[in-house]
Structure 1
């Protein structure tokens, strides 16, 4: 292979044989049980180097993480030069390369790929990489580094850090010394950027009550501890679930995914959170955020990604109007079908709302079409994007009153406190705290913006998820034929009923979501639809939904 040493690739590839497993690069990259990922990491190392060469030596990111998954899992994903997700056309290349069964097959597929993708192998290749705290991380990093060696990548190890920090680093490295400079290209630069912007946004305002922060016993614990030092007394934070070194603790009965799926307080926080106090949870790699509080009766109340979107979008609309820019800057919100129907109604009464298929790449892409695009999945993953033209307008606009000047400065500082590359739990936490401070809201006032419709999510194992195909942003099934009509027949029996079925992107399961006006009806509808899916498509007997009637 001209420009690449097949002998070196062969020698190193033989150290990382592929198991008899089919891999697929999905929304979150490759993700599965860590013990089978060795060959994938080696090949991703090569792919990352080739991606950099294809883009004239721009720095590509590689993150080794499985986010909210159990500790025994791991995964890897690539990050493009502006800190965004890997270009979708390259996802198929990643899948193809990962599934070559032998070293000879892999080299052949690699040679074909280099030719068809017109990759100039004489170009430099640069990669920055990092991992979370999973015990399997070091071995997988070693396999990744062999991939780098195989094609001579200039690789920089960012160590153990959060996924959002890795995304930040990629963009900061690639924009360094340009008019679009995103910040200092170091972890310290990240903390400085966020903390300084936060301090400006809350200057002169009362110090809030301490925030209880559940770190999911993951890498976010270290990052939150560092951020807290930069914030000082401007935001008192009480860190909990910080046992990074405790085997099996990661995401175990704690973290953002636990809060969202179980809709209850992590047991470890039951004696810590007091009525009226704010609390929030990160996930294992700190890219998801879930808020919560106890109401006047001491009842747990969840403030999920939908609630965050409502709070943040309305605040930004107010600031745009306050700056006198409402005719020039249009704010929009992007949701998925999992967004609670009540949140969609609340937002649609105030600004444009678009629904897209599940997955960060779909949300991020759609948000880029607005001057200011707000997107949050209900699971707590999201951010706010200010278009380049909007940021330029903010920097050049001449306010005509002191009030306009104040609102304008707040908008400018928001662009700095928000990590616009990807959903970032710590950045989003600061954003939420800014809005709560400006609005003088407790969790109770925030929660009262609208009342969630009761909802239920059920998972059904199936023999083949690929027989399920959807349309209308995954809200309707087109295959298996006839199943959608039967689902709609069930939905019509329930007041305020809504339900949809979508296949997982990574495993042979389908997810059933249901809403209704009353909690028992939402539960019943979810399990009835799950039972319908099971009966119609031959579900796995071990996963037969047990609660449907």
Structure 2
């Protein structure tokens, strides 16, 4: 993920004329004190959008991973940059790490029925559908997926996370049974939302706010077990934007007593703010988000899991947290990783999608675009909320 300091450089490069490109690059190298003799690698992947083939061909001097989701490419870059400490920098390495962690988490719930293991997934006719189908064998039927919109239709057309979030209704082509858990990816599989219909065929959306609440509540419960994992040493925060439903913010602050930070819209702002805490959950309302664990938090959890003097309750919690760390793609929002984490938490808590939805009641909302002749007339504070 490009840091804020480098966004200006990216803009300069994008706007540079061909004859100016080399001098702009030289200027950036000088300002950042970059050694031109030092080797470098570029990781390239593509999704199923029509522009991907042309754009990926333009940068094939680096290593080409072929068809991958955006989050999978982020994952593999991180694996390389950490010299394999984060994982194996291949698609198979990605599947192996996440699915093994998911299986380890759900083996603690031996009484799950096939109905409880079942999930309906809308792939938005994008790359996520292809990769989810490819990954299924690694799950060993611990998650049984019915996949719709798997690539034969138009990308994101009347389907996908954004369509479901904005239109507040199920995607076209998905058979939604009453009370059944369903989720939708977006086209490049970095966003996810859940939903279901009730016995009266009313639609219920569980967006990024509900996802953040579920994950952060579960994490806090683990930290607050008898004996505790040391919440005073490992703080927990949730990072949101001004698009977050007000009910979620009030529930997190007033009921769960979790730190809530509001940032400007855009995942880059949430990710950087989340890095300030030991453990943080960040999600935009549109379903883009993930969980971050600081090195100090990971080390504390590892020590508790391996210490022979740790009591059984704390040891079990620490081991669960280790698996949660491994099932989570901490590099960026990842629909596949988020889906596995959500499914594991619901299984561990023995919670239905209806019980999850009932944690708090959303303030009624609708996302709309408003055209304004004088956009400067609206004034905003730094986190994007209106004054």
The TM tier, using the shorter chain, reads over 0.9
Counterpart Cα distance in 2 of 1:466 and 1:420: 36
Within the candidate set 187, 206, 220, 1:284 is matched to 187
Counterpart Cα distance in 2 of 1:307 and 1:103: 47
Runs of 4+ in 1 over 6 A off after TM superposition: none
Verify the 8 A CA contact 1:320 1:411 in the aligned structure 2.
no
Residue 126 (structure 1) aligns with: 41
Structure 1 stretch 196-205 or stretch 276-285: which is displaced more?
A: 196-205
After superposition, the C-alpha distances for 1:105-137 in whole angstroms (9 at most, x for unaligned) are: 333333333333333221112111111111222
Counterpart Cα distance in 1 of 2:377 and 2:135: 46
Cα shift at 1:368:
1.3
Secondary structure of the structure 2 residue equivalent to 1:458 = coil
Root-mean-square deviation (CA, aligned residues, Å) is 1.7
Within the alignment, does 1:256 sit opposite 2:171 as a pair? Answer: no
Change (3 A) 1:112 1:466: farther
Cα shift at 1:396:
0.8
Residue 340 (structure 1) aligns with: 245
Counterpart Cα distance in 1 of 2:376 and 2:65: 37
Residue 12 (structure 2) aligns with: 96
Verify the 8 A CA contact 2:79 2:86 in the aligned structure 1.
yes
Gaps of 5+ in 2: none
Determine which structure has greater relative contact order: mean sequence separation of CA pairs < 8 Å that are 6+ residues apart, divided by chain length: 2
Counterpart Cα distance in 1 of 2:122 and 2:320: 28
Verify the 8 A CA contact 1:198 1:434 in the aligned structure 2.
yes
Counterpart Cα distance in 2 of 1:217 and 1:287: 14
Within the alignment, does 1:220 sit opposite 2:131 as a pair? Answer: no
Residue 188 (structure 1) aligns with: 92
Residue 328 (structure 2) aligns with: 418
What is the aligned residue count? Answer: 376
Counterpart Cα distance in 2 of 1:142 and 1:229: 31
Gaps of 5+ in 1: 1-84, 149-154, 477-483, 485-549
Q: What are the within-5 Å matches in structure 2 for residues 110-125 of structure 1?
A: 110-125=25-40
Within the alignment, does 1:372 sit opposite 2:276 as a pair? Answer: no
Within the alignment, does 1:307 sit opposite 2:215 as a pair? Answer: no
Q: What are the within-5 Å matches in structure 2 for residues 130-209 of structure 1?
A: 130-145=45-60, 148=61, 155-177=62-84, 181-205=85-109, 206-207=112-113, 208-209=116-117
Secondary structure of the structure 1 residue equivalent to 2:363 = coil
Residue 430 (structure 1) aligns with: 340
Structure 1 stretch 164-173 or stretch 463-472: which is displaced more?
A: 463-472
Within the alignment, does 1:293 sit opposite 2:208 as a pair? Answer: no
After superposition, the C-alpha distances for 1:465-492 in whole angstroms (9 at most, x for unaligned) are: 677663241113xxxxxxx5xxxxxxxx
Counterpart Cα distance in 2 of 1:462 and 1:120: 48
After superposition, the C-alpha distances for 1:171-230 in whole angstroms (9 at most, x for unaligned) are: 1111125xxx00111100000000000001010421424100000000001111122111
Change (3 A) 1:109 1:184: closer
Counterpart Cα distance in 2 of 1:227 and 1:304: 24
Verify the 8 A CA contact 1:219 1:285 in the aligned structure 2.
yes
Q: Which TM-score applies when normalising by structure 2?
A: 0.93
Counterpart Cα distance in 2 of 1:464 and 1:98: 28
Counterpart Cα distance in 2 of 1:471 and 1:346: 23
Cα shift at 1:97:
1.4
Secondary structure of the structure 2 residue equivalent to 1:385 = strand
Verify the 8 A CA contact 2:44 2:59 in the aligned structure 1.
no
Q: Whose radius of gyration is greater, 1 or 2?
A: 1
Within the alignment, does 1:445 sit opposite 2:348 as a pair? Answer: no
Counterpart Cα distance in 2 of 1:343 and 1:198: 27
Verify the 8 A CA contact 1:176 1:185 in the aligned structure 2.
no
Within the alignment, does 1:392 sit opposite 2:288 as a pair? Answer: no
Counterpart Cα distance in 2 of 1:298 and 1:467: 42
Secondary structure of the structure 2 residue equivalent to 1:419 = coil
Change (3 A) 1:108 1:464: farther
After superposition, the C-alpha distances for 1:467-526 in whole angstroms (9 at most, x for unaligned) are: 7663241113xxxxxxx5xxxxxxxxxxxxxxxxxxxxxxxxxxxxxxxxxxxxxxxxxx
Change (3 A) 1:97 1:469: farther
Verify the 8 A CA contact 2:108 2:348 in the aligned structure 1.
no
Verify the 8 A CA contact 2:128 2:189 in the aligned structure 1.
yes
Verify the 8 A CA contact 2:177 2:197 in the aligned structure 1.
yes
Counterpart Cα distance in 1 of 2:37 and 2:379: 42
Counterpart Cα distance in 2 of 1:161 and 1:209: 26
